[in-house]
Amino acid sequence: MSDAVKAVEAATPVASKPDAPAQSAEKVPAQSDEGKASSVARIAKLPVVEQSLNTASAIYGKVKDSSSIVGWTLDKAESAVSKAVEVATPVTTHLERPLHTVDSILSKSLDYVEKKVPAVKMTPDGVYTVTKEYIVETVHPVVVCSGVVKEYATAAIVNTAKLIPGMTHTQPMVQDAEKKGT
């Protein structure tokens, strides 16, 4: 599992199981995997999201390492966010039930999306490959066929125009066809 996905999972609020009695913030370990918002972890594990998180994490690391001032500033920002999460954690105990409800709805919605749009489970490269294959197998033959139909129709119009005297509006098409050798 990537560092970015681990970071997302670590930052998700801890909620108790629906059948379990409410617990105080002191009794709930902050890094426990039990009771975490499973929908957030599932979304973070989708290949497109995971790749995006990894890319963003790599860019963040490069920016942070770009200079000591930027690194120091981002370290202070990280400390502030960490402290804010620490301060806000007790509040989540009062929101366990609504958070669980939202998580449940998100999980069901994700199940539906994964069932109806299986491409969400594919990597970006996989989506590109499947799309390219679809175009090559489906769209390209139609384009080729339409080109053949256009050539056939042009030849038919040119031949008809040669037979009917006075069809001056088709004269440019006849001249172009004669240049091409049709």
Give CA–CA dist 163/50, Å, rounded: 67
Compare 106 and 13 and report the one with higher pLDDT: 106
Q: Is 105 found in the same domain as 78?
A: yes
Question: What's the CA gap between 15 and 36, in Å, rounded?
Answer: 6
Domain that holds residue 139: 131-180
* Of 77, 106, 79, nearest in space to 15 by CA: 106
DSSP bridge partners of 14: 36
**DSSP 8-state assignment for residue 182:** -
The phi and psi torsions of 34 (rounded to 5 degrees) equal -70, 125
**Does 143 lie in the same domain as 96?**
no
Considering the chain, what percentage of its residues have pLDDT values greater than 90? 42
CA dist., res. 135 & res. 159, Å (int): 35
Residue where a domain stops, chosen among 121, 139, 168: 121
52 and 87 in a single domain? The answer is: yes
For residue 126, tell me if it sits in a domain.
no
Number of domains in the chain: 2
CA separation, residue 95 to residues 7, 13, 25, 114 (Å): 22, 10, 11, 28
pLDDT at 116: 94
Q: What is the Cα–Cα distance from 34 to 49, expressed in whole angstroms?
A: 23
pLDDT in tens, 120-173: 999 999 999 999 998 888 888 888 888 889 888 888 887 877 777 666 565 666
Q: Round to whole Å and give the CA distance between 81 and 142.
A: 55
List all residues 6 or more positions away from 125 whose beta carbon is below 8 Å from its beta carbon: none
Helices and strands, number each (H, E), in the chain: 8, 0
Neighbouring CB atoms inside 10 A of 47's CB total 16
pLDDT in tens, 77-113: 999 999 999 998 888 888 888 889 999 999 999 999 9
Entry pTM: 0.54
> Are 141 and 57 in the same domain?
no
